[in-house]
Amino acid sequence: MSFPPPGRDFYGRLPFDPMVPPPKPARVREVTGGTRKNRAATEKARKYQREEVVELARRRHLLDVDDLEGEEMEHILETARSFSEVMRRPIKKVPSLRGKTVVNLFYEPSTRTRLSFEVAAKRLSADVLNFTASTSSVEKGESLKDTALTLRAMGVDAVIVRHPAAGAPWLLRRWLDVCVINAGDGMHAHPTQALLDLFTMRERLGGLEGRTIAYVGDILHSRVARSGFKACLAMGMRVIAVAPPTLLPSFVPPGVEVQHDLDEVLPRCDVLYILRIQKERQTEGRFPSLQEYVSLYQLNMERLGKARPGVLVMHPGPMNRGVEIASEVADAPHAAITSQVAAGVAVRMAVLFLLLGSGEGGV
């Protein structure tokens, strides 16, 4: 008999198929006990299990925002709000993920995303392992699969992965039976960034429905924009992609308006979302000169003056001050860039908490 059996992988599992719906709901753990003394707590836990934990815990992975239905996105944002309250307490730690181990598996440089996942996991009392490709056996030629199997053998509960290859988190999901969270794969997706951006906009603008956001700059290479488009459209926002034709992908989702003239777009927007020129992903020159790009697309004080008075300026970081955004704009009261970083911790706490499915400890 051949091994692996026909149609199965090395572990006897069926091949990966992105169209396969998420697994059946995880068994809901029955809450027992209920003496007079803890009846209220028991009832609270039951209510929580019925209404909240079940949806996300059954999913186990967060690979892109279209994995999430509208209500789930809403629920993550609501949970993040509770965690942002925790972050204002003098003691910022809750025991929710005590005994769980989370690994940050980063094959690309990162400051904000890696640190905020680490802070988020630690504030939930999880143990955190940090894997950085440049200081690991990857340098000796180890494959993603062998690294993944090593982590599985160590019994980690969640893998947070950033990888230069689009699709890498989907491969991990196939190889691992633990929670996988996409922290950015190539030019493809960055779901937690999209969620934290929604959270920031909602906190600063109130409702999102009917609001207009323009993503400005290097959309072609931006996983932030790709996930952001989907998330904003799902929330009923109007989305404009503003870039020179050479920095736009050949496909933008239906519902996204494409524009090349930033000055024309400015007065229509509630949010200006500025993107970095991703030189590390560019194989050829996409515009004649940096000076020309700056003159047409940099968000400077003069352009900010043409925008709506209360416009929100966002940037996922890292910023190249003086290129896509003028330094004074990055420091202006319109800028929500540090709010985005704070939201990143709260949203990632919510995602970890909901995906790892522990209702213990509470917020």
Residues that bind ligand NCD (CB under 6 A): 112-113, 184, 190, 193, 223-224, 276, 278, 316-317
Residue closer to ligand NCD by CB (options 184, 191) is 184
Is the sign of the CA dihedral 92, 97, 100, 101 positive or negative?
negative
User: What are the φ and ψ backbone dihedral angles of 122, each rounded to 5 degrees?
Assistant: -65, -35
Residue closer to ligand NCD by CB (options 64, 157) is 64
Q: Is 142 helix (H, G, I), strand (E, B) or coil?
A: coil
Distance CA 120, CA 112 (A): 12
**What Cα–Cα distance (Å) separates residue 255 from each residue in 168, 237, 238, 252, 262?**
28, 10, 8, 8, 19
Closest contact distance (angstroms) between CB of 191 and ligand NCD is 11
Closest contact distance (angstroms) between CB of 226 and ligand NCD is 10
Residue closer to ligand NCD by CB (options 42, 278) is 278
Among candidate residues 352, 350, 349, 265, the one with its CA nearest the CA of residue 311: 265
Closest contact distance (angstroms) between CB of 219 and ligand NCD is 11
Closest contact distance (angstroms) between CB of 107 and ligand NCD is 12
Q: Which residue type sits at 127?
A: D
The residue number with the shortest CB distance to ligand NCD is: 276
Residue closer to ligand NCD by CB (options 147, 192) is 192
Sheet holding 271-274, edge to edge: 256-259, 238-242, 212-216, 271-274, 312-314
Closest contact distance (angstroms) between CB of 223 and ligand NCD is 5
Residue closer to ligand NCD by CB (options 259, 278) is 278
Q: Is 305 helix (H, G, I), strand (E, B) or coil?
A: helix
Closest contact distance (angstroms) between CB of 278 and ligand NCD is 6
Distance CA 309, CA 287 (A): 31
Closest contact distance (angstroms) between CB of 192 and ligand NCD is 9
Residue closer to ligand NCD by CB (options 164, 361) is 164
Tokens matching residue 196: 């934290």
How wide is the angle at C-alpha 85 spanned by C-alphas 82 and 90, nearest 5°? 140
Closest contact distance (angstroms) between CB of 216 and ligand NCD is 13
CB 129 within 8 A of CB 114: no
**What Cα–Cα distance (Å) separates residue 25 from each residue in 22, 45, 55, 57, 239?**
9, 18, 8, 8, 34
CB 127 within 8 A of CB 100: yes
Residue closer to ligand NCD by CB (options 223, 230) is 223
Closest contact distance (angstroms) between CB of 346 and ligand NCD is 15
Residue closer to ligand NCD by CB (options 228, 359) is 228
Residue closer to ligand NCD by CB (options 77, 274) is 274
